[in-house]
Structure 1
Amino acid sequence: MEILSNILLVLHFIGLASLLGGFLTQMSGFKTGAVRINPAILHGALTQLVTGVLLVGVIQMGDLGEVDNIKIAVKLVIVLVIYVLAWINRKKDPVAVPILGTIGLLTIANIVIAVFWK
């Protein structure tokens, strides 16, 4: 079970890298308003969502530790909002800058929650 948990954690980090990297590549267009939802954002959010849910399930099934359900619920809601925003705006070119900014801020908020909420 621990190996599966570690594999899911690596995939979760890859999803985070994709989501954050996709956002960061669009930041240069903030001044001009030429931003879009690139596939890295959409697929990164979906990867985060799926691997996060599976990771919690594996941890709880395998007695690999305690899970703070309130923290997980907050993180789940945030990644769902990110994914819905990305899905709704995926075909718009350009996307409103506040939408992409919200995706970026929520992504960073999820990272901060993961690191500092003990």
Structure 2
Amino acid sequence: MEALRLVLRYAHLVGFAVLLGGSVAQYLSGRIRINPAMLYGAGAQVVTGLALAAPLPRDHQPDPVKLAVKGIVAVMIFVMVFFPRKRAEVNKGHFLAVVGLTLANAAVATFWH
């Protein structure tokens, strides 16, 4: 079970990297839109996050409130990326909110014990 948890954590981190990297690359291109990397990264974050939150046998169970906060933020990011994905361009504030929520979700994971 520990190996499964580590693989899920690795996939979760890769999803974060793809989401944030896709966002930064798109922002630097000068054309603010939702790219496929952002969509796949957000989807990976939600799916692997749900799998990581499953009550697997382990010594220390994660805080349910932290999981709820991370889950809500991850779903918000996914919704903000999924629905405007076919637009030629999105509002700069919307795009920066996706980036900000992504960084906030990572901060919750890192600093909330």
Instruction: Please give the range of the TM-score, normalised by the shorter of the 2 chains.
Output: over 0.9
Alpha-carbon distance in structure 1 between the residues aligned to 2:15 and 2:45: 5
Alpha-carbon distance in structure 2 between the residues aligned to 1:84 and 1:48: 12
Structure 1 residue 42 corresponds to structure 2 residue 39: yes
Q: What displacement does 1:109 show?
A: 0.2
What is the percent sequence identity of the aligned residues? 37
Query: What amino acid is aligned across from residue 98 of structure 2 in structure 1?
Result: I
1:1-118 mapped onto 2 (5 Å cutoff): 1-29=1-29, 34-57=31-54, 60-118=55-113
Structure 1 unaligned residues grouped into runs of 5+: none
Q: What displacement does 1:61 show?
A: 2.3
Alpha-carbon distance in structure 2 between the residues aligned to 1:46 and 1:40: 10
- 8 Å Cα contact 1:2/1:64 also seen in 2: no
Task: Tell me the matched-pair count.
Answer: 113
Structure 2 unaligned residues grouped into runs of 5+: none
Q: CA RMSD in A?
A: 1.1
